[in-house]
Chain A
Amino acid sequence: NAGVMQNPRHLVRRRGQEARLRCSPMKGHSHVYWYRQLPEEGLKFMVYLQKENIIDESGMPKERFSAEFPKEGPSILRIQQVVRGDSAAYFCASLTTLRGLNEQFFGPGTRLTVL
């Protein structure tokens, strides 16, 4: 059973370009969470999605950021017109509620660098 997959692992963009980050949850998991981590900081919740639905996007900036989790294919976090402050590691996690736990399995992350 493959773990959570994210690609690309590293992404370099110039200011003003678009960044598109992909996340494939573990097989059978339908809950996806996106987090942003700045260097030496904790993880900041951005958005929670289930298939075709955004459940909670309260942590996501109102402008330039969007997320989707289509019926088929990976979840996508899209950042338009990137700025230097968007440079960070972006992790997605998928959830299992088996054994009464709400355990989140994290992907390896995408490290975004904005030049």
Chain B
Amino acid sequence: GQQVMQIPQYQHVQEGEDFTTYCNSSTTLSNIQWYKQRPGGHPVFLIQLVKSGEVKKQKRLTFQFGEAKKNSSLHITATQTTDVGTYFCAGGGSTLGRLYFGRGTQLTVWP
């Protein structure tokens, strides 16, 4: 079945350092979405990428979708303590809304 792998599982950084999480799918995706979950909270939608090679930015966050639509990355520049949480990628398949979540990358930011 379809699988989405995400690395690393954990990342600890000092405030001000950059952070990147990577996502790979075993199959071509119709779209890739990214969510953030704070400790004890629920996933919150960040962005959706649809086009091959697409790059989108949200302030200090940069999202990329690979040319083959099988991999994606999220890069945070100059992390802040408010960035703490788990970042999930989720690949879209053929069924509307059916998402295949990666395991997530848990980001810890030390002040």
Q: A104-B97, A104-B99 are in contact. List 20 more A-B contacts (CB 8 A).
A: A31-B96, A33-B97, A40-B106, A42-B6, A43-B43, A43-B101, A45-B98, A45-B99, A48-B95, A56-B98, A93-B43, A95-B96, A101-B48, A102-B31, A102-B33, A102-B96, A103-B45, A104-B45, A105-B45, A106-B44
- State the CA gap A44–B42 with chains docked (Å): 14
A44 and B95 contact, CB distance less than 8 A: no
- State the CA gap A31–B99 with chains docked (Å): 13
Mask, B76-111, CB within 8 Å of A = 1, is 000000000000101010011111111110100000
**B residues lining the A interface (CB < 8 Å):** 6, 31, 33, 35, 41-45, 48, 88, 90, 92, 95-104, 106
Tally chain A residues at the interface, Cβ within 8 Å. 25
Query: Which of chain A's residues has its CB closest to B31's CB?
Result: A102
- What are 20 A-B pairs with beta-carbon distances under 8 A? A31-B97, A33-B97, A41-B103, A41-B104, A42-B6, A42-B102, A43-B43, A43-B90, A44-B101, A45-B100, A56-B95, A91-B42, A91-B43, A93-B43, A102-B92, A103-B33, A104-B45, A105-B45, A108-B41, A108-B42
